[in-house]
Amino acid sequence: MERIASFNVNHDTLEKGMYISRIDGDVVTYDIRMKKPNMGDYVSNEALHTFEHLFATYARNSEISDKVIYIGPMGCRTGFYLLMRDTATRQQAIDLARESFKFISEYKGEIPGAARSECGNSEEHDLEAARAVAIDMIEVLKDWNEEKLDYDYEG
C-alpha cells in the first residue's frame, strides 16, 4: 500500500497554528494544530468532543456555511481538520476559525447536539476544557495571515 500524505508530515517540526494540509480538486483541507505533536500535552477526549460540536455548530451557521464541507478532530488529539470549498478565500478560512474559537471561548449553556437522542456519546463533554483550548488558539491565531498557511510539512 502507498503511504498516505498525512503520514509524510514531519510532526517534529509542526507547531500550533493553521496550515493548508492539502488541496484535492475543489476541496482545501486546513490543519488546525492546537497542540504541538508528541509533547505529551493533548486535547482531552471530552474537550475535543465538545469543541467539535461547538465548532461545527458555529461554522455551519456562519455566512460562509455553504463553503464548509467538514470539521473533525484529529485522532491524535492535537487539532482539527477543516475542509472547505476552494471558493472560500484563505482569509475567510482564517476568519472562520478565529470567529469560531471566539464563539467557543465565550459559550455558556447546553452544548448543541449533545442530548442523548442527538449524540452517540452524550456523556463525554467538557465545556470548560473546550473553552480553554479556544482561548489558547485565539492567541495563537491573533496575527495569523495567509502566508502562514503555507507550511513546509516535510521540513
> Residue 120 in contact with residue 91, Cβ under 8 Å?
no
Predicted pLDDT of residue 3: 84
Predicted pLDDT of residue 5: 77
Name the grid cell of 148: 502562514
* pTM as predicted: 0.93
Q: What is the largest CA-CA distance in the chain?
A: 46
**Closest to 13 in 3D by CA, of 33, 42, 28:** 33
Q: Whole-number mean pLDDT of the chain? A: 94
pLDDT above 70 (res 38) = yes
Name the grid cell of 118: 442527538
